[in-house]
Amino acid sequence: MKTGLLNFLAGLTLTKIVDKKEREELIMKYVPLVKNIVGRMALRFPDHIGKDQDPGGRTG
């Protein structure tokens, strides 16, 4: 992954985006990437932590 994209993603906060359509487009664009990363991370979670729950106890 290119450094420019990583810097963009690191500085991106969806709450600053006023246009709801633009916000929704960005979310939909990056959902597959986020799911992929979370799926790979889940392989390293202890067995008692489900895929829908992170180590902080949040679900979703």
Question: Looking at per-residue confidence, does 46 or 56 come out higher?
Answer: 46
- For residue 26, the enclosing domain spans 14-46
pLDDT for 60 equals 52
Query: How far apart (Å, rounded) are the C-alpha atoms in residues 25 and 17?
Result: 11
Domain total for the chain?
Answer: 1
Classify residue 4: in a domain, yes or no.
Answer: no
Tokens 């963009």 locate to 8
Task: Give the mean pLDDT of 39-60.
Answer: 70
Classify residue 18: in a domain, yes or no.
Answer: yes
User: HSE of 22 in the Cβ direction (CA atoms, 13 Å)?
Assistant: 8
Classify residue 35: in a domain, yes or no.
Answer: yes
Question: Looking at per-residue confidence, does 8 or 2 come out higher?
Answer: 8
Classify residue 59: in a domain, yes or no.
Answer: no
41: confidence class by pLDDT, cuts 50, 70, 90: confident
Query: How far apart (Å, rounded) are the C-alpha atoms in residues 59 and 54?
Result: 7
